[in-house]
């Protein structure tokens, strides 16, 4: 099964320089800058009020918004097992109409501020392709705010989105495929919706993931 949209949190620790075995490590300047600039945010888990309310519009892209975007980028880029592909501001405790997307590790980071989505009606061709794809494999949608929970969600194959980027420039653009799925998932967050709501409405399936003794991810269907 293919799974997406997950994240992890990182813990810090302190070291006593007087303790036996302490060793000072000298890092290159660029490595020191990366460490100093890297700042991960705490991911909010459901249930939480910030995850169930409509986020507020961003009035302007100022220094505080740019700092938040950098922190969100650091958090997303450090996602592991599986790697994260999208992150919305409410998921880090900020009730703002912002989300970011990095579809693959080498993909450019996409920033969406005050997004308004217009769903493109599914064509007959798209419906046929979706039916064929369903026969081949099951794609599960997950969420870093709902750890180890996955579900089958029907999404539109393409969307048109009005949004502002990190420079304050307004855009209207069409997105298709997996990127359209990510965008719909993240826009839901800005409207206080978590994906299990769609699963229930669509009478889909929910699963809980865990690791077996070989470290492989396994999925157990939940009764809903």
Chain-centroid distance, C-alpha 36 = 24
Question: Which residues carry out catalysis?
Answer: 186
Task: Name the residue ranges covered by the structural domains of the chain.
Answer: 27-222
Which residue carries 């800058």 as its tokens?
A: 33
User: Phi-psi bin for 109: left (phi > 0), alpha (psi -120 to 50), beta?
Assistant: beta
3-state per-residue secondary structure call for 62-115: CHHHHHHHHHHHHHHHCCCCCCCCEEEHHHHCCCECEEEECCCCCCCCEEEEEE
Residue ranges of E strands in the chain: 2-4, 86-88, 98-101, 110-119, 139-143, 146-151, 158-164, 170-176, 206-211, 217-222
Torsion, Cα 188 51 222 179, to 10 degrees, reads: 30
> Which pTM does this prediction carry?
0.77
Query: Which candidate, 169, 172, 190, 183, places its Cα nearest to that of 61?
Result: 169
Does domain 27-222 correspond to CATH entry 1.10.10.10? no
Q: pLDDT truncated to tens, each residue of the chain (224 aa)? A: 444 433 323 333 333 445 444 344 444 545 444 444 457 898 999 999 999 999 999 999 999 999 999 999 999 988 776 668 999 999 999 999 999 999 988 899 999 999 999 877 665 555 555 555 554 456 899 998 998 999 999 999 999 999 999 999 999 999 999 999 999 999 999 999 999 999 999 999 999 999 999 999 999 999 87
Check: CB of residue 39 under 8 Å from CB of residue 12: no
Which residue do the tokens 């996955």 mark? 150
31 token code pair? 């490595």
């Amino acid at each position: 099964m293919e799974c997406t949209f997950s994240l992890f949190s990182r813990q810090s620790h302190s070291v006593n320089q007087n303790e036996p075995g302490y060793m000072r490590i000298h890092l290159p300047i660029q490595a020191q800058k990366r460490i100093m600039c890297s700042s991960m945010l705490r991911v909010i888990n459901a249930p939480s009020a910030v995850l169930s309310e409509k986020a507020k519009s961003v009035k302007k892209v100022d220094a505080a918004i740019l700092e938040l975007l950098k922190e969100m980028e650091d958090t997303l880029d450090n996602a592991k097992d599986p790697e994260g592909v999208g992150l919305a501001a409410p998921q880090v405790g900020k009730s703002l109409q912002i989300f970011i997307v990095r579809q693959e590790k080498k993909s450019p980071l996409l920033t969406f501020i005050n997004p308004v989505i217009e769903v493109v009606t599914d064509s007959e061709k798209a419906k046929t392709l979706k039916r064929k794809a369903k026969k081949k494999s099951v794609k599960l949608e997950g969420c870093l705010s709902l750890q180890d929970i996955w579900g089958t969600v029907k999404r539109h194959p393409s969307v048109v989105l009005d949004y502002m980027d990190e420079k304050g420039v307004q855009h209207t653009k069409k997105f298709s495929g997996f990127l359209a799925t990510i965008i719909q998932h993240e826009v839901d967050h800005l409207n206080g919706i978590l994906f299990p709501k769609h699963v229930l409405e669509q009478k889909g399936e929910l699963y809980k993931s865990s690791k077996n003794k070989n470290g492989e991810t396994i999925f157990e269907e939940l009764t809903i």
